[in-house]
């Protein structure tokens, strides 16, 4: 399903196997070695940084650190750190942003809609959930990042409950 958004001159695509525009998006994102994305989900704004299999996500009251092997989800509100293995096969922007734009698989054909801006980068991602709900992630900027991806430092979270699912 392809349609032109006349006002913004952006294209939206339902993720399908062999969709050339989504393959082009996947190649473009993969060609950027390190990047920063500013986004909004409903009324919550945040950012994430990606370099290789490492990432850092920041939203108010929460942070997620991923080093390609382990995922550390920090909740300041609950004063807890949840540790789990990184699922490198996940294509979910919120659980593994390093693979979020690899939509070539037919597994996602009815689950994701992507709006692509004229430069070929993502502008909006809509996830169709199994319960019929939709989660819309609006992307405000997608730029190269030259810094270091923050790593989880246990000492910064002394007094937090550690929940380790590994």
d(CA 88, CA 44): 25
**What percent helix, strand, coil does the chain show, rounded to 5?**
15, 45, 40
Determine the pLDDT at residue 59: 93
d(CA 2, CA 115): 10
> Is residue 2 classed exposed, middle or buried when 0-12, 13-18 and 19+ CB atoms within 10 A define those classes?
exposed
> Confidence band (pLDDT; 50, 70, 90) for 139?
very high
d(CA 95, CA 93): 6
Spans of all domains in the chain? 2-164
Determine the pLDDT at residue 108: 53
Residue 151 or 135, more confident: 151
Tell me how long the chain is. Answer: 166
> Confidence band (pLDDT; 50, 70, 90) for 8?
very low
d(CA 26, CA 125): 13
Q: Are strands 80-85 and 161-164 parallel, antiparallel or unpaired?
A: parallel
Determine the pLDDT at residue 149: 97
**CATH fold group of domain 2-164:** outer membrane lipoprotein receptor (LolB), chain A (2.50.20)
CA 67 to chain centre: 15
Predicted TM-score (pTM) of this structure = 0.80
Q: Which of 83, 82, 49 is nearest to 69 (CA)?
A: 83
């Amino acid at each position: 399903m392809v349609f032109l958004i006349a006002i913004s001159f952006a294209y939206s695509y339902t993720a399908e196997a062999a969709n050339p525009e989504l393959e082009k998006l996947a190649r473009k994102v993969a060609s950027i070695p390190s990047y920063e994305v500013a986004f909004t989900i409903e009324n919550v704004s945040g950012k994430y940084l990606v370099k290789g299999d490492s990432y850092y996500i920041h939203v108010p009251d929460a942070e997620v650190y991923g080093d390609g092997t382990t995922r550390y989800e920090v909740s300041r509100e609950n004063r807890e750190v949840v540790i789990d293995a990184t699922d490198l096969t996940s294509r979910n922007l919120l659980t593994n942003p390093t693979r979020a734009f690899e939509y070539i698989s037919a597994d996602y054909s009815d689950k994701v809609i992507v709006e692509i801006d004229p430069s070929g980068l993502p502008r909006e991602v809509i996830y169709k959930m199994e319960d019929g709900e939709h989660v819309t992630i609006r992307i405000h900027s997608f730029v190269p990042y030259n810094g270091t991806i923050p790593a989880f430092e246990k000492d910064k979270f002394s007094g937090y409950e550690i929940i380790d699912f590994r």
